[in-house]
Amino acid sequence: MRQRQTIPLLAGLVFTACSSVPTRTLRIDAIGVDEKPVPCIVVVGDDWAGAAEKNQFVNLTGDDTLALQVAFEQPSVDIIVAAVPVDQATGKPLMLPKSRDESAKATSFLADFAQVRLTDPDRQLFILRQR
């Protein structure tokens, strides 16, 4: 009887331990081929709306890096870094692209992409080509 109760409990514990998703903080930077900083939105997976909501931008007001917390539900995570047009006076994006095409049409840059693994280096540099 006791064994009957123990087995589901153990199974539950194993499931909890296995289902915890590892997370890492990546430092994202974006430059053009001339090494100058490019204002960009940083998209994890294909969640463009989520990236805007979570304020995942880099270089909006100068040269900086974005500390991005990433959950690795899969062995690797797709990261897209796409240029955004910026209002120089306010340092805010003039529009929020929802695709790589929209970003390319609104700026002179093509988005860059990387498949980042949990065991890859923290600092991730994206180099955007001119359109």
CA pair distance 34, 75, nearest whole angstrom: 33
CA pair distance 50, 92, nearest whole angstrom: 17
Under a CB-based contact definition with an 8 Å cutoff, are residues 50 and 70 in contact? no
Q: Which is nearer to another protein, 33 or 94 (by Cβ)?
A: 33
When binding is defined by CB under 8 A, the residue of 11, 14, 33, 71 that contacts another protein is 33
Residue 25 touching another protein (CB under 8 A): no
Q: How far from 73 is each of 45, 69, 70, 83, 109, CA to CA, in Å? A: 11, 13, 9, 26, 30
Residue 69 touching another protein (CB under 8 A): no
When binding is defined by CB under 8 A, the residue of 24, 31, 96, 98 that contacts another protein is 31
When binding is defined by CB under 8 A, the residue of 54, 92, 105, 123 that contacts another protein is 123
Residue 130 touching another protein (CB under 8 A): yes
What is the smallest separation between the CB atom of 95 and another protein, expressed in angstroms?
Answer: 25
Q: Which is nearer to another protein, 96 or 127 (by Cβ)?
A: 127
CA pair distance 94, 51, nearest whole angstrom: 15
